[in-house]
Amino acid sequence: MDFLDFEQPIIELEKRIEKLKLTAADSESSVDLDHEIDNLIRKYETLTKEIFSNLSEWQIAQLARHPERPKALDVIQAIVPDFKELHGDRMYADDAAIVSGLGTIENLSLMFIAQEKGQDTKSRIFRNYGMPKPEGYRKAQRMMKLAEKFSMPIVTIIDTPGAYPGIGAEERGQSGAIASNLFTLASLRTPIINLVIGEGGSGGALAIGMGDSLLMLQYSIYSVISPEACSSILWRNPKEVEAAADAMGISAKRLSKFDIIDRVIPEPLGGFHRDPELMYKDIASAVVDEVQLLKNLALDDLIDRRRKKFRAIGEFQEI
């Protein structure tokens, strides 16, 4: 298991517990060892709770990017056993950073549109580290319209550092593709549930993130810019990431105070990667609840509610 810097105090405890468990398995008199193991486990849980109850915005950002944190495809494969992937934008190419397709949860037929980062070096390169290109957003738009045609609710799974900023992407109309998606989402006549499972980075995330219900996992982040980029721009120093993250308020807890998100899904102690199976069940349950709620609304009311929601975000003063 990989550990982050702020988790270092619990590393030694975890190692001692594992070592004692191995010793107890080989020992004939394991009673005393079992007692010692129980004490260490209690100490481990207490320390872990203490650490995770006081995480800074930057520490939460690190958790959202944890190398062992399950990705979008992990979630889809766990909660949508009959998932059928659909490919291509019918214009240029099939962008592997966007995964889309059909599937059911509890007999609800749904369209899934997700950003996939990849799990290892090979898959991350193939998925372009979860940074979609214009053809990826155009594929997503094609799936949105397909879902609308067949009156299927849409579930988007957001996990991206942002849209790909390469020259080729700009030449093929990156900003136009994102803007077109936003225009489409604003008027789409079907329920849209957005779920942030890791990073929600800038317009790259918003291009599939404008919907009726925005759900975030407890240790995910959503922001207009990364803490690193904000630090470089405002402080002219890339090392001011902690101050940048705190100033922006990128965590689910901070964003919920401004009514930007609709629901925070709690994570297991230590984060999503500590107990993925439990998290998958909670995600599936939350998605079903939101779909059932939104399906009860008339389509005209649904769109009006969606537009009002986004118009209400932010504070400004007229001079």
In whole angstroms, what is the distance from residue 293 CA to residue 288 CA?
9
Q: Are 37 and 67 members of one domain?
A: no
Buried b (16+ CB within 10 A) or exposed e, 195-225: bbbbbbbbbbbbbbbbbbbbbbbbbbbbbeb
- Predicted confidence (pLDDT) per residue in 125-184, tens digit: 999 999 999 999 999 999 999 999 999 999 999 999 999 999 999 999 999 999 999 999
- pLDDT value for 28: 59
In whole angstroms, what is the distance from residue 253 CA to residue 263 CA?
10
Q: Are 17 and 160 members of one domain?
A: no
Q: Are 13 and 113 members of one domain?
A: no
Ranges of residues in the chain whose predicted pLDDT is under 50: none
- pLDDT value for 69: 94
Q: Are 139 and 106 members of one domain?
A: yes
In whole angstroms, what is the distance from residue 51 CA to residue 7 CA?
8
3-state class (DSSP) for residue 225: coil
In whole angstroms, what is the distance from residue 64 CA to residue 255 CA?
15
Residue 282 maps to which CATH number? 3.90.226.10
Consecutive H or E run containing 304: helix 299-311
Q: Provide the number of structural domains found in the chain.
A: 2
In a domain, 123, yes or no: yes
Rounding to the nearest 10 degrees, give the CA dihedral for residues 205, 208, 210, 215: -70
Consecutive H or E run containing 263: strand 263-265
Domain that holds residue 121: 61-311
Q: Are 201 and 257 members of one domain?
A: yes
Q: Are 182 and 194 in contact (CB under 8 A)?
A: no
* Exposed / middle / buried, residue 41 (Cβ in 10 Å: 0-12, 13-18, 19+): middle
Q: Are 32 and 84 members of one domain?
A: no
Q: Are 111 and 143 members of one domain?
A: yes
From 54, 75, 92, the end of a domain falls on 54
DSSP string covering 75-103: HHHHH-TT-EEE---SSS---TTEEEEEE
In whole angstroms, what is the distance from residue 205 CA to residue 260 CA?
14
Q: Are 105 and 12 members of one domain?
A: no
Of 76, 80, 186, whose CA–CA distance to 141 is shortest?
A: 186
